[in-house]
Structure 1
Amino acid sequence: MPLSPLRLRLLVISLLTVSFLGALDHTVVSTSLATIAGELGALNLMSWVVVGYTLASTVLLPVLGKLGDVLGARRIFLGSLVMFLAASLACGFAQDMAWLIAARVLQGMSSAGLQLMSQTIIARVTTQRERPRYLAIIGAAFPIAILVGPVLGGAITDTWGWSWVFWINIPVGAAALGLALVAVPHLEPGPMPRHFDVAGAAVFTAALVALVLAVTWAAERSAGTGTAAALAVSVLGFVAFFFVERRAPEPIVPFRFFANRTIAAGTALSAIIGVGLFSITAYLPTYFQMAYQTTATVSGFVPIATVFGMLISNLLTGWLATRTGRYRIFPIVGTSLGAGGLSVMALLPAGLPLWVPMIVMGVVGMGTGAFMSLIVAVVQGAAPASQTGAITATVNLVRQVGSTVATAIIGGVIGFGVPALLPAGLDASTLTPHLVHGAAPAVQATIAQIYGAVFTPIFLALAATYAVGIVAAVLLPHGRLSDEPVPAQKASETLSA
């Protein structure tokens, strides 16, 4: 349904604000964790403040996507925003770690609704041609949150206390809620399903929880029978989920749509973003502190350059795709830049001036941003309008699962590879950047070589992932984004030729 220019601007402002709040809570807590764990006295549970949030937001994606199609995106969006504000309030009042983790799970569940319904609402009120520009604006929330979140979280914790890391959401979110009540239109929901896919939702939740537990325990190098059992449950669960969805009359993940080449290739490209880039950014500072002997502050410049390149490219390609109607060239160029940049990272000798890897990773970020939001718009345009929420959830789901699994695998490779190569007399459990920087030059050179040897195959593997993305991008059908409005309950199965 078309909106007036003023109402569309108000809608975009509202969606951008709440998307930023949801994305910010992924990053703002990181610099507060040590303080929170110390005051609540549960250092062993600290990681679950982040894991609980991420797991809940991932698990709920397909369920909320289906509910958005059935009940209407506006209802799910407003309900998620109210729940997010209530959960933020509860987080700040937490008296122990169990309370905080439970509140963070609620925050993650509601964050999934904010992220997903923002993209779904844009898809329902814009043409295919307009959509990339607006999705790029809303998609900018994530890289901005990566840039400002850790700094903002540290400043708030030092100035007002860690509770305000969560309470700061209340006034901003309340203002966004007031704006959303006015700006978000009433969208006609799809037909009520005869049977909601309860079995599919339950099996998927169990399989994903088991997967996250397995990769989390493996990354913490506490692999054992528990890790193996969780992995086995996960594999069996996803196999069962596939067969349940094939038989379900109203599946939460519409596998039948993958017969459409646009949807199949676009979903693969979305997964590659999670696997190829989002998984490595958390480890880049450690790599540069150890291999390039930089301080913690300086090492942060490389991920900042990566995210900044992603932000600029995301906005630019969204504008260009809307202006020209062309979309296929951007993922082809983007995946090529990602594959080339990560291959160069594997070949760079340690000790070069830091601006060299900053430029290289900035190029990788630009390549990723070239199709990060655009591919969501392309896939949405290839699915029926009545399934917009479900297909948008699927695209986001593969990206988050890919990022979670690849992050754990990379952590495991580093955790195994570095201790295995360390010379006698150096203990990996006590090896800190401060200790290395104060060691003899020969020791520093040895550590740099070790980290280079461990990270080289990681960069090459991620470059290969982007190379697969080039194939997926080439397989996207030729076409142009349509200027025709998308009816409430009718959309073409493919993009206009």
Structure 2
Amino acid sequence: MERKTNVKLVTISVFVATFMTAIEGTIVSTAMPTIVGSLHGMEIMNWVFSIYLLTNAMLTPIYGKLADKVGRKPIFMIGIIIFIIGSSLCGLAQNMMTLIIARAIQGIGAGAIMPVALTILADIYSIDKRAKMLGLNSAAWGIASIFGPLAGGFIVDTVGWHWIFFINVPIGLVLMGLIAYFLVEPKREKSKVPMDILGSVQLMFVLLTLLLGFQLIGDGGFDLKVFLCLGASVLFFIMFIFVEKRAKDPVIDLMLFKNSTFVIVNIVAALISGFLMGVEVYIPMWMQGVLGKSAGIGGLVLAPMSILWMVGSFIASNLMEKHTTKRVLTIGLSITLLGGIFLVLVPATVSFVWFFAISSVLGIGFGITITTTTVTAQSSVDPSEMGVATSFNTLARTIGQTLMVSIFGVIINAVTTSELAKSTLKVDSDVMNQLVNPHTANTIPADLLRPLRGMLYTGLHNVYVVGIGLIIVAIILNSSVKKKIVNE
């Protein structure tokens, strides 16, 4: 008797794999002060996070192509193996540079796990059930955002920071066993057309220079290194287009970009993911810097967003069975816009309790919007290109996040620096860093706290005004989407 995929166990495996990669960010953030104290590398601490995201994004489209070409199962397992190796090396690191290199390897593995996981879900579920599964899968991110800091603190306090990485090893090995045995893929005919190696390398250089350029903007604003990186990215992109037009089996088929629905939903996903970074990064800053609350409160007010994101995904699933993509996205974007407007209109002195309501509204809006763009990106292409389409959707969201977190950083720094320069307060620019840190804010004289909090509020206000602009652009773009999602 021919074996078939055990849908339930494979689905659970995908959820666990998503959780394993999602929790990396939150659990490492919690442990970072201890890690820095142990390895002595405060000045390069940001690269522990940045290099992971960078290598992750660089390899995502390559894995998507390989998943279409040789199968989901082998690529998914290769990603897990690399992730396990990277995690082991992170745990063994004895200095900061070794940790950063190990995190780069970890990111290379993670670049396969997320997009291929979403592609596996698309393979084993029909369109009418897919959005619900994506909603449950996104719940892994919500659970990770709540569980990660708690687990990170517990592990660091008990067995030591090394184990926040070592714990991935047994989980990864179990996942490999489950996927190896319970995911049954049809045999694929071996392609006689060679892999587009040159195009893959060009694409990696495009993403490397682009994302590195925006990372440098976030680190220190615009300078020669930024312009060199972005200029190189444009040059590599032109070369990439030239190579892909002549490739027999391009890593990204340029014909996909003649599909207006595919292009628009991915741009919408990038814009909304950019706004999401403004929410995730700066609402905690609002809680701590403007309202003077603890870091715990800063994270807690985002919990409803993580939980209701799943609800939004279920709503999207029901809506997509009855309505066009345009209408479903209009509903999701309108709810997100409402949350954004609240962030712009609330005064600096508003109670933190209101942010639970705002976070809830945004969670539903993000859940509907991101789920709809993912399902539409998958269903608007031929099944043979679903891996590429899914990985490109993941990449679009990553680029949107990377770009906007850098731009938001430039905005808030420019506004607060300008406000300080115009004020009569005799303080240095480092005072804003003290303000947003609950441990140092109490060292600032009481007569300075009120005006400094007002300056930070002005900066945050400008961030959310720009955020609303992103949502409005997404709504305008969405008006040209014509595809109706049907149960195919």
Match of residue 16 from structure 1:
15
- Distance between the aligned counterparts of 1:211 and 1:296, measured in 2? 32
Contact 2:73 2:179 in 1 (8 A): no
Aligned-residue offset at 1:3: 9.2
Match of residue 289 from structure 1:
288
Deviations 1:221-251 (A, max 9, x none): 2653223322222232233333433343322
Secondary structure in structure 2 of the residue aligned to 1:372: helix
Q: Give matches, 1:34-183, under 5 Å.
A: 34-183=33-182
Relative to structure 1, is the Cα distance of residues 258 and 222 closer, same or farther in structure 2, using a 3 angstrom cutoff? closer
Match of residue 403 from structure 2:
405
Q: Give matches, 1:223-238, under 5 Å.
A: 223-238=222-237
- Distance between the aligned counterparts of 1:201 and 1:31, measured in 2? 35
Aligned-residue offset at 1:14: 0.8
Contact 2:271 2:400 in 1 (8 A): yes
- Answer yes or no: is 1:362 the counterpart of 2:360: yes
Match of residue 449 from structure 1:
454
Letter in structure 2 aligned against 1:408: S
- Distance between the aligned counterparts of 2:284 and 2:303, measured in 1? 10
Which 10-residue stretch deviates more, 414-423 or 161-170?
Answer: 414-423
Letter in structure 2 aligned against 1:448: R
Contact 2:221 2:410 in 1 (8 A): no
Secondary structure in structure 2 of the residue aligned to 1:370: helix
Relative to structure 1, is the Cα distance of residues 297 and 26 closer, same or farther in structure 2, using a 3 angstrom cutoff? closer
- Answer yes or no: is 1:465 the counterpart of 2:470: yes
Aligned-residue offset at 1:201: 1.8
Which 10-residue stretch deviates more, 191-200 or 443-452?
Answer: 191-200
Secondary structure in structure 1 of the residue aligned to 2:94: coil
Q: RMSD of the TM alignment (CA)?
A: 2.4
TM-score, scaled to structure 1: 0.90
Relative to structure 1, is the Cα distance of residues 189 and 372 closer, same or farther in structure 2, using a 3 angstrom cutoff? farther
Deviations 1:261-295 (A, max 9, x none): 32122212221232121344122211222222322
- Distance between the aligned counterparts of 1:60 and 1:194, measured in 2? 21
2:480 maps to which of 464, 468, 475:
475
Would you identify which runs of 4 or more consecutive aligned residues in structure 1 move more than 4 Å? 321-328, 434-442
- Distance between the aligned counterparts of 1:188 and 1:263, measured in 2? 28
Q: Which runs of 5+ in 1 are unaligned?
A: 484-497
The sequence identity of aligned pairs, in percent, is 25
Contact 1:380 1:391 in 2 (8 A): yes
Match of residue 266 from structure 1:
265
Deviations 1:363-400 (A, max 9, x none): 12210111322321222111111111111111111100
Relative to structure 1, is the Cα distance of residues 216 and 65 closer, same or farther in structure 2, using a 3 angstrom cutoff? same
- Distance between the aligned counterparts of 1:3 and 1:379, measured in 2? 30
- Distance between the aligned counterparts of 2:378 and 2:49, measured in 1? 30
Match of residue 196 from structure 1:
195
Letter in structure 2 aligned against 1:251: P
Contact 1:74 1:187 in 2 (8 A): no
2:416 maps to which of 418, 422, 431:
418
Aligned-residue offset at 1:439: 4.7
TM-score, scaled to structure 2: 0.91
Relative to structure 1, is the Cα distance of residues 357 and 83 closer, same or farther in structure 2, using a 3 angstrom cutoff? same
Match of residue 427 from structure 1:
428
Relative to structure 1, is the Cα distance of residues 478 and 392 closer, same or farther in structure 2, using a 3 angstrom cutoff? closer
Relative to structure 1, is the Cα distance of residues 187 and 166 closer, same or farther in structure 2, using a 3 angstrom cutoff? farther
Letter in structure 2 aligned against 1:227: V
Contact 2:135 2:309 in 1 (8 A): no
Letter in structure 1 aligned against 2:408: I
Which 10-residue stretch deviates more, 262-271 or 472-481?
Answer: 472-481
Aligned-residue offset at 1:442: 4.7
Q: Which runs of 5+ in 2 are unaligned?
A: none
- Distance between the aligned counterparts of 2:281 and 2:3, measured in 1? 40
Relative to structure 1, is the Cα distance of residues 100 and 300 closer, same or farther in structure 2, using a 3 angstrom cutoff? same
- Answer yes or no: is 1:339 the counterpart of 2:340: no
Aligned-residue offset at 1:460: 1.4
- Distance between the aligned counterparts of 2:28 and 2:321, measured in 1? 38
Deviations 1:26-81 (A, max 9, x none): 22111111211221222222111111111111000111111111111111011211
User: Aligned residues, how many?
Assistant: 480
Letter in structure 2 aligned against 1:428: S
Deviations 1:389-413 (A, max 9, x none): 1111111111001101110111122
Match of residue 488 from structure 1:
none
Aligned-residue offset at 1:13: 0.5
Contact 2:269 2:393 in 1 (8 A): yes
Relative to structure 1, is the Cα distance of residues 444 and 45 closer, same or farther in structure 2, using a 3 angstrom cutoff? closer
- Distance between the aligned counterparts of 1:456 and 1:172, measured in 2? 42
Which 10-residue stretch deviates more, 53-62 or 180-189?
Answer: 180-189
Contact 1:221 1:415 in 2 (8 A): no
Deviations 1:129-182 (A, max 9, x none): 222222222232223222222232122112211111011112222222222122
Relative to structure 1, is the Cα distance of residues 283 and 296 closer, same or farther in structure 2, using a 3 angstrom cutoff? same
